[in-house]
Structure 1
Amino acid sequence: MEIGYTLMCEQSDPRSLVRNAVAAEAAGFDFSVISDHAFPWLEEQGHSPYAWSVLGAVAQATERMELMTYVTCPIKRYHPAIVAQKAATVGLLSEGRFTLGLGAGENLNEHVVGGGWPPANTRHEMLVEAVEIIRGLLDGGYVNHRGTHFEVDSAKLWDRPEDPVRIGLAVSGAQSCAIAGELADLMIAVEPDAELGAAFDAAGGQGKPRVGQMPVSFDRDRDAAIDRAHDQFRWFGGGWKVNAELPGPAAFAAASQFVTRDDVAESIPCGDDVDAVVAAAAEWADAGFTHLALCQIGGDAQEGFTTWAESDLLPALRSAHRSS
């Protein structure tokens, strides 16, 4: 597996995110993914800068790491034609290091433009239509589209990479796997579920990369690491199908009120035990994932994490999983 670093907009300000990206590249991470939210999941996280501005700065501040949105929703807050323009520009700024990760979105972020939150089936219809528009624009030429959900009138990207930006799609079930297998260049998932990969393969994804993301809470004091993870990451307990529907941080706080410190400690590697992270990453390797982005919890804990990753964690992960 390639090992990546998560630029998590929900827990850091934009200048810190750029510094973190530079540190992650220097530490030896292979790639970096960035979340694209309008809101944090919990108020304790405290941030949500515009991911695309951060990406532009990161593209100029780094030289080697691959970059990727994890993920952008092109169906409500952004029109797909605008997503295509942003992706093409970051592709040029990064000199081909950018992959556009897309998904059907969360109410948490997309509600800000009004108009209600569509049911999952409708969101998937919208996503398919959006990908068709984005693909057409990234391939060059004029695009006209009159669809069920979107219209595009004589759109064209005047600045785009010679090689079109790769597109990844987030999956969480049979329907999204079918869409991703047919339309995406790679699969994105937030759980090490081999069945997702099998469904992706069956729909045409055989041999394509699979990118996962795993939270980690590094601290030399394990209790402090657990406290931080519980404070800022307990929202994960509801599961994706619930989380996609919740409208704001207050709803996530209510939905996660019964998630305990022990629940978090059992689900997320906490502390400075390298073997615990390697073992957790093995679940992703065993499920067929080719890339795994680590997400260090806590905006103020990034410097210590990247230092530890460079000296201890990355060598151990590469020894265990490079040939998986």
Structure 2
Amino acid sequence: MSGFRVGIMDPAIASRPRVDSFTRASYLSAVACGVDSFWVPDHLNALFPRTLWQPKFAAGAKVLPSADAYLEPWTMLGNLAARNRMARLRLGVSVTDTGRRNPAVTAQAAATMNLLTRGRFILGIGTGEREGNEPYGVEWSRPVARFEEAMATIRALWDSKGELVNRDSPYFPLRNAIFDLPAYRGKWPPIWIAAHGPRMLRAVGRYADGYFPAFPHTPQEYAQRLDALRSAASDAGRDPMAITPALWVMVVPGRSSDEVDEALDSAVARAGGLLASDEFYARHGAEHPLGVGFTGAQDILPQDWDEQTALSYIKKVPMSVLREMYLCGTTDEIIDRAIQWRDYGVRHLVVANIGPLQRHLRKGLLSTVLFGRAVRKLKKL
């Protein structure tokens, strides 16, 4: 893939006055900024302590009544596809879950979206997180093994050409299964995998058209993982350079360093710091507030914390961790940091603005203006 592409990630959380008011505004902003892709997440609830979702902590709580009120992504994608005829943005899910969703259903949904968008859909997919599985009765002891079997199942169905499919699997056995939806002009939607560990990187090399990590890490780590997955692709007889190097990152914009620090010190931004791993904290001479060896976003279960418990955790998050994990700063500083990611291999950067979730509504609204400026500059890289 040549050039540098930019996408915008929408939270897809129920808002006011219409349930999709925020998503509509986000989509129109993406069109106005001329981005290449627009994304929605696949969550049942937030990776965020619900007791901190109050106006005294986050101005966004005034327009988004609940941080856990995620709209169902595939329904939302169909809605977006209907209004995307003129803008022709690529639409994507970032990322759907192989724990909660049977891969045959995911294969069907993705193929349908690819037909509706005339080949402009991207299937972002990963293991999911504990918070979206375990509370709902989905077994979580071997998420990577389940993921690998899900990927093999999706590919088997897409490659079946309408013939009966039989496949042994400990998770998703197929017995005379039929999949007869057509590919759009002979092509299935590209699969972008959210991967971090060695085994998941090998899965990217075997199955993926794009590499799409999100958990906090450094540009240097990104480059090392990109090399590893490309080696895996070569071992699998695939073209390693055909895999799109992408990245999802949260943005905290401000007019000055003081303004950025104020936004980073908000409850939402600090709670986001809990999604980094203990290994990430160790580089800053600190221990993760949830203990040594805590893996971060993959295993966090914050929904039953009371307010004081949540506050006690986020107060232990060092500002240096927040500055590194977020793409934060003035517009020029954001661009400089994005250039670093580009220089380490990223070719499609998907950004999400969390500036509106800081304490003060006026500064939160201003962040949307600064975010738009940054996105337009990113498009010129």
Q: What's the TM-score, normalizing by structure 1?
A: 0.85
Select 1:246's aligned residue among 252, 277, 300: 300
Mark the CA change 1:261 to 1:10 in structure 2 (over 3 Å): closer, same or farther. farther
Alignment pair present for 1:57 and 2:57: no
| 5+ residue gaps, structure 2 | 54-66, 234-238, 279-293
Alignment pair present for 1:177 and 2:197: no
- Displacement of 1:194: 0.8
| 5+ residue gaps, structure 1 | none
Alignment pair present for 1:2 and 2:5: yes
- Distance, in Å, in 2 between the alignment partners of 1:30 and 1:212 is 14
Mark the CA change 1:17 to 1:159 in structure 2 (over 3 Å): closer, same or farther. farther
Select 1:234's aligned residue among 268, 273, 283: 273
Mark the CA change 1:306 to 1:60 in structure 2 (over 3 Å): closer, same or farther. farther
Amino acid paired to 2:228 = A
* Range with greater deviation from structure 2 (300-309 or 16-25): 300-309
Amino acid paired to 2:78 = G
Indicate if the aligned counterparts of 1:232 and 1:298 stay in contact, CA closer than 8 A. Answer: no
* Range with greater deviation from structure 2 (158-167 or 61-70): 158-167
3-state SS in 2 of match to 1:212 = strand
State which structure, 1 or 2, has the greater radius of gyration over its C-alpha atoms: 2
- Distance, in Å, in 2 between the alignment partners of 1:148 and 1:256 is 40
Amino acid paired to 2:263 = A
3-state SS in 1 of match to 2:296 = helix
- Divergent runs of 4+, >6 A: 300-303
Alignment pair present for 1:291 and 2:348: yes
Indicate if the aligned counterparts of 1:144 and 1:155 stay in contact, CA closer than 8 A. Answer: no
Mark the CA change 1:89 to 1:22 in structure 2 (over 3 Å): closer, same or farther. farther
Amino acid paired to 1:135 = R
Amino acid paired to 1:296 = N
- 1:7-27 CA distance string (max 9 Å, x none): 123686544223312321222
Q: What's the TM-score, normalizing by structure 2?
A: 0.73
- Distance, in Å, in 1 between the alignment partners of 2:370 and 2:171 is 47
Amino acid paired to 2:169 = G
Amino acid paired to 1:8 = P
- Displacement of 1:314: 3.4
Alignment pair present for 1:145 and 2:145: no
Select 1:27's aligned residue among 33, 45, 63: 33
Indicate if the aligned counterparts of 1:41 and 1:235 stay in contact, CA closer than 8 A. Answer: no
Mark the CA change 1:306 to 1:55 in structure 2 (over 3 Å): closer, same or farther. farther
- Distance, in Å, in 2 between the alignment partners of 1:85 and 1:196 is 30
Q: Aligned residue for 2:93?
A: 69
Amino acid paired to 1:93 = L
Indicate if the aligned counterparts of 1:72 and 1:103 stay in contact, CA closer than 8 A. Answer: yes
Select 2:146's aligned residue among 103, 126, 139: 126
Mark the CA change 1:182 to 1:263 in structure 2 (over 3 Å): closer, same or farther. closer
- 1:284-319 CA distance string (max 9 Å, x none): 112211111111015668975554455x32343244
Mark the CA change 1:137 to 1:161 in structure 2 (over 3 Å): closer, same or farther. farther
Q: Aligned residue for 2:245?
A: 210
Indicate if the aligned counterparts of 1:24 and 1:306 stay in contact, CA closer than 8 A. Answer: no
Equivalent pairs counted in the alignment come to 314
3-state SS in 2 of match to 1:9 = coil
3-state SS in 2 of match to 1:178 = helix
Identity over aligned pairs, percent: 25
- Distance, in Å, in 2 between the alignment partners of 1:96 and 1:48 is 26
Q: Aligned residue for 1:136?
A: 156
3-state SS in 1 of match to 2:301 = coil
Alignment pair present for 1:317 and 2:370: no
- Distance, in Å, in 1 between the alignment partners of 2:304 and 2:246 is 30
* Range with greater deviation from structure 2 (293-302 or 130-139): 293-302
- Displacement of 1:177: 0.9
3-state SS in 1 of match to 2:295 = helix
- Displacement of 1:101: 1.1
Indicate if the aligned counterparts of 1:235 and 1:256 stay in contact, CA closer than 8 A. Answer: yes
- 1:52-72 CA distance string (max 9 Å, x none): 111111122223211222211
- Displacement of 1:244: 1.0
- Distance, in Å, in 1 between the alignment partners of 2:248 and 2:201 is 17
Indicate if the aligned counterparts of 2:47 and 2:131 stay in contact, CA closer than 8 A. Answer: yes
